[in-house]
A and B are shown apart, each in its own frame.
Chain A
Amino acid sequence: DAGVTQSPTHLIKTRGQQVTLRCSPKSGHDTVSWYQQALGQGPQFIFQYYEEEERQRGNFPDRFSGHQFPNYSSELNVNALLLGDSALYLCASSPNAWHTEAFFGQGTRLTVV
């Protein structure tokens, strides 16, 4: 049983560019959350998707957008990249239930130059 998978593992982009990150949830999970983890910090909640809709959003600008597909996989899009967007982007999946553990993928390391 594959866990949460993310692609790509590493990415280098230039300021102003756009990026798309992908996530496949753990089998049986229908809820996907995205987190940004800067170096030396804890993960910060970006948003969560359930039933192909954004259910909740953290304090991130509109440059951050996402999508969930019928097979529950998800994408995170970031437009007009800034140097400060350099971070580890983590995808976490869970079943749609209150207060359950989150299963994290290995993350995508994004570097903006």
Chain B
Amino acid sequence: GQQVMQIPQYQHVQEGEDFTTYCNSSTTLSNIQWYKQRPGGHPVFLIQLVKSGEVKKQKRLTFQFGEAKKNSSLHITATQTTDVGTYFCAAVNNDYKLSFGAGTTVTVRA
């Protein structure tokens, strides 16, 4: 099974609204990465979080890593149609593989 759980599985958002997707692990993570996959596309790297409590921003996207390094979140403000896609978190531990969550699929109502 997957090491990280993502909620919600689906997010239907009105254009212009904000939303948050969450990633939770039962174990402490070394770091966490976020990827976006557009419909019919492939995962594209967004960000990597390493430090406990770390917060990083990319324009309208804000990424957080929990203090215990067991959870992370992605918050998008003023959602646009270009935000459509599936957002995955991927756990990175002391090995070489990425353990992906099931993703949050975002649709936007214009």
Contact = CB atoms under 8 A, between A and B. Distances in A.
Interface stretch (A12-20, A71-79, A97-105): A97-105
A50 B95 CA distance: 13
Contacts of A107: 42
Contacts of B101: 42
Contacts of A92: 98
A111 interface: no
Given A43-B43, A104-B42, A107-B42, A48 B96 contact: yes
A44 interface: yes
Interface stretch (B44-52, B53-61, B64-72, B77-85): B44-52
Interface size class of A (residues with CB under 8 A): 20 to 34
A101 B41 contact: no
Given A99-B30, A99-B48, A101-B33, A42 B100 contact: yes
Contacts, number: 56
The A interface is mostly helix, strand or loop, or mixed, namely strand
A41 B102 contact: yes
Nearest to A104: B42
Interface string A79-113: 00000000000101000000101111111000000
A32 to B, nearest CB: 11
A50 B92 CA distance: 18
B4 to A, nearest CB: 9
B62 interface: no
B45 A99 contact: no
B99 interface: yes
Interface of A: 31, 33, 35, 40-45, 48, 50, 55-56, 58, 90, 92, 99, 101-107
21 contacts: A33-B96, A33-B97, A33-B98, A35-B100, A40-B102, A42-B100, A43-B98, A50-B96, A56-B96, A58-B97, A90-B43, A99-B31, A99-B48, A99-B50, A101-B33, A103-B45, A104-B42, A104-B43, A106-B41, A106-B42, A107-B42
